[in-house]
Chains A and B, each alone.
Chain A
């Protein structure tokens, strides 16, 4: 195995993804190639409808592409059955959603416990680990409250705690700051960066929010269903169309 292979966390090659019927086909991804490295925070940017979310779903194993290969931490996802994909997500992925998706009828800590309980961890262990990560995201003392009683920024912190509590190698963030103001968004991205920074982890963030580009190690720009370019410096991006 080459040294490069050891550094690659996510690799998608020649991925095609289309929706609808053959007569009325919408192409979401067209021969898309994407690569994310271990230990990096990479952002996927581009105009609406360019295929960012579809590529994110393919990497997360919630969508199966019609063509191409997807490999996450050495595991080929194409060809896996639904059960295997579910199991793969359970062990390897953490999610931060745009609209947080915190269950309003559960307490903060119960929301954070969900990935551990899905993994079949005992309740007490899940509780202790969740409590520790809630402390890390700065919400100690709020664990028994309901998510609705928290501000948007605090809710997103809970979502981050939930995404990281089971220590997944790949963290998927879908528009994590779109519902937050500038300062809160910056705090959240700083938190993601701090908590997820590890050689054994990779963070993929889909965003429109150019205010947070500075937190990225690299930025992959998408256009018409494919990666058009990857830059190391956000200043090199033309953000007028994003």
Chain B
């Protein structure tokens, strides 16, 4: 009977198309919105991805990576003396205004790294060399930031056009010249500003007036010491807060700074509510469209189901037929919706906006929800058919 159930479903192409549209739209909305949500949330801990270190040490009051509470420079020595530390390097991060050559101002994320070890330096440089940061007044700007901070001019078509900054260009931070010696590739951040790398000592100069400039310490454990273990030792010996740097969302541990950043944004911003609403909307729209269409499919076939009942099919057989129909539609609808979400996601990734992270878990959750919609649709149909009197087939 299941084969016939499927043929009944596929035989009514208009209804099937409507049903699949509802399910696919629902799957698309849920998968796409969830992926953008996780993409945006992954941007919140971008510094953890761009500035690579196994252990981060901060002031005990720090809750997330974008909220640095400066430490004393002497804390660096205390951390270096903890048993199990291979090395510890200072890190400065702050948001400062940069003045472009055309007089325009841009908010940048200033990253000061240790000039000796270059710990925390960007992984990929598309232009220049990291060593050139040791030259006076030098910075490395990220690729996207270079175009954002670019010089405004007029293109060949007469329209205003921004020319990305390149090696050799200069701008000012707190009236101090910053000369670009490299362009790097880093992940964009939730805060939106370009990443500008310089040395830790020069960063101090760029942030005149700040008494403390040590935002974090980047620490490498000695061989045989796990990051988690080292965090415990640093916290015990110094009273500072130590974090692991795992950024894999489904595997991060209790001490992960990325995890804490994620949950800080989860609880302190309206982002989850906003995207959660969109996902719920997708679910409700799916239930409404699919439920209604499936109900109308059942209504249209009601007299045939009544005839099948009269011929001796029990409700169990009919219920299974309806489940097969609903779940098949759900499966196809999910495939279409998830496929579209993936295609849109790829386009987004190419443009870089908005961020898009489609975990397998998102697909599984969307699949489960679409099956849930199909289940509800089938139940609505089963209730309707169960109320049909088999004797009604004799009433013309």
Q: Assuming the A-B contacts A86-B314, A97-B307, A98-B396, are A117 and B1 also in contact, with contact meaning beta carbons closer than 8 angstroms in the complex?
A: yes
> Considering the complex, which residues of chain A in the window 156-209 have a beta carbon less than 8 Å from any beta carbon of chain B?
174-175, 206
- Distance between Cα atoms of A98 and B396 in the complex (Å): 6
- B376 interface residue per 8 A CB criterion: no
The interface-forming segment of B3-11, B20-28, B203-211, B269-277 is: B3-11
The interface-forming segment of A31-39, A71-79, A88-96, A224-232 is: A88-96
Return A114 CB to nearest CB of chain B, in Å: 6
Most A C-beta atoms less than 10 A away, residue of B4, B11, B394:
B394
Main secondary structure of the interface of B (DSSP, over half): helix
Closest-by-CB residue of A relative to B3 is A123
- A238 interface residue per 8 A CB criterion: no
Give the chain A neighbours of B310 by CB distance below 8 A. 60, 62, 89, 95
Return A230 CB to nearest CB of chain B, in Å: 21
**Residue pair B4, A93 in contact (C-beta under 8 Å):** no
Q: Assuming the A-B contacts A103-B8, A105-B8, A106-B8, are A114 and B311 also in contact, with contact meaning beta carbons closer than 8 angstroms in the complex?
A: yes
The interface size bin for chain A is 35 or more
The interface-forming segment of B188-196, B280-288, B385-393 is: B385-393
- A101 interface residue per 8 A CB criterion: yes
**Residue pair B4, A114 in contact (C-beta under 8 Å):** yes
Give the chain A neighbours of B159 by CB distance below 8 A. none
Most B C-beta atoms less than 10 A away, residue of A53, A60, A97, A103:
A103
- A66 interface residue per 8 A CB criterion: no
**Residue pair B311, A90 in contact (C-beta under 8 Å):** yes
- B303 interface residue per 8 A CB criterion: yes
- A237 interface residue per 8 A CB criterion: no
Give the chain B neighbours of A105 by CB distance below 8 A. 7-12, 301
- A154 interface residue per 8 A CB criterion: no
What are the interface flags for B313-334 relative to A under an 8 Å C-beta threshold, 1 for contact and 0 otherwise? 1100100000000000000000
**Residue pair A117, B312 in contact (C-beta under 8 Å):** no
Give the chain A neighbours of B303 by CB distance below 8 A. 99, 101
**Residue pair B308, A114 in contact (C-beta under 8 Å):** yes
Return B163 CB to nearest CB of chain A, in Å: 63
Q: Assuming the A-B contacts A91-B312, A101-B304, A105-B11, are A118 and B1 also in contact, with contact meaning beta carbons closer than 8 angstroms in the complex?
A: yes
- Distance between Cα atoms of A95 and B8 in the complex (Å): 21
**Residue pair B307, A83 in contact (C-beta under 8 Å):** no
**Residue pair A89, B11 in contact (C-beta under 8 Å):** no
- Distance between Cα atoms of A56 and B10 in the complex (Å): 34
Return A210 CB to nearest CB of chain B, in Å: 19
- B351 interface residue per 8 A CB criterion: no
Interface CB pairs A-B, < 8 A, 13: A57-B391, A62-B389, A62-B394, A86-B312, A89-B390, A97-B393, A105-B11, A114-B4, A115-B311, A117-B4, A123-B3, A174-B393, A206-B394
Give the interface of B toward A (CB within 8 A): 1, 3-4, 7-12, 301, 303-304, 307-314, 317, 389-391, 393-396
Given contacts A62-B310, A118-B311, A174-B394, 10 further A-B contacts (CB under 8 A): A62-B391, A89-B310, A90-B312, A95-B310, A101-B304, A105-B10, A105-B11, A115-B311, A118-B1, A206-B394
